Structure 1
């Protein structure tokens, strides 16, 4: 006689936090791919730096103030970002809404600063190999920044609608996780773009 064992899983949660969440693993894979993209771009920059007798090529180093202000704001943003994760884990809707708005405003401020940074690179993308690689690296990071800001805005809007269900709090913590990646990715890029040309 053949027996079929069946387990009732209807009581299991339909979402989780961190590694117990499918989207978290998706974000991990996405960050691994993006990290390799940054590594390749950094490698290209360092190769061009090594084979050219003068660096930067036909340009002054970027102005320091936009990148430095951005770096300070990125580092400070880790504090409200981590608080956002805590209130989302507690499923505190009011505080999660507030913190998503705060993080969206920080992201928008950083995008505005990034516009100033592009304007103060002191080179065009088509000026030289130096200009091309600098614009490429800054453009790559800007894409990640804009993606996270867009995700934060969408989550903030959803939290003010009927879609503000427990599963959304898990999405918020995944967004916090990705923001930390955006911050960590920027730190070596800041050194590379703003300080290496001054060596």
Structure 2
């Protein structure tokens, strides 16, 4: 005798959800945990190399503060439109979500332009010595994350304008903002290491 089949009717449940009820939210946090660990390892490598050197930086002046500081201000300012985009998406307001996500994209592009000047202002090449390698690695890792999220933001904005429009798109915008916060706040310790540590004596 076979046991009776038990079925659960989920037809009334929504097809998408925000926050911890979304698989995308958990996936984003898993990604943040992995990438945050990579940043921590890279910072640890930098500090280890610094502890082994008699002088720091090796064979180069400290990086110029102008471009890194300007980019830090841009990143901090970008929190505001990202929060606006997140709230608009969670309110399912398509017009405002489109607009604020476009503003977020402009902030990200402005940051990428200045990041090019940052690399020049490091005053060292990636293959010059251990200092050059670790500084370029730190800045390069963060740039890859920024490029990834800029691309994601651009694709999302195109989809919001061209459709087809689905509720899941609003969740994508909300989680994109969450990842952007990680990009912003992960930059602060990296900035302190790249620009502050070489000036400590």
Does the alignment reach a TM-score above 0.5? yes
Q: Which secondary structure state, in structure 2, belongs to the residue aligned with residue 60 of structure 1?
A: coil
Deviations 1:73-124 (A, max 9, x none): 1111111111111100111111100011100110000000100100110111
Moved more, 111-120 or 3-12: 3-12
Cross-structure match for 1:55: 56
Q: Indicate conservation of the 8 Å contact 2:81/2:101, yes or no.
A: no
Cα distance in 1 for residues equivalent to 2:102 and 2:96: 10
1:138 is the counterpart of 2:116: no
1:14, distance to aligned residue in structure 2 (A): 1.5
| Partner of residue 172, structure 1 | 173
The reply on whether 1:162 has 2:184 as its aligned counterpart is no
Which structure 1 segments of 5+ residues have no match?
none
TM-score by length of 2: 0.97
Please show how residues 73-88 of structure 1 align to structure 2 within 5 Å: 73-88=74-89
Q: What is the SS of the residue equivalent to 2:161?
A: coil
Q: Secondary structure at the match of 2:123?
A: coil
Work out the number of aligned pairs and report it. 199
SS, match of residue 160 in structure 1:
helix
Q: In 1, distance between residues paired with 2:124 and 2:17?
A: 47
* SS across alignment from 2:33: helix
- How many Å separate the matches in 1 of 2:127 and 2:79? 35
Q: 2: distance between equivalents of 1:7 and 1:182?
A: 40
Please, which runs of 5 or more residues in structure 2 have no aligned partner? none
Match of 1:109 in 2: 110
Deviation at 1:4, TM superposition (A): 2.4
Q: In structure 2, what is the equivalent of residue 194 of structure 1?
A: 195
Instruction: Provide runs of 4+ in structure 1 moved above 2 Å.
Output: 1-5
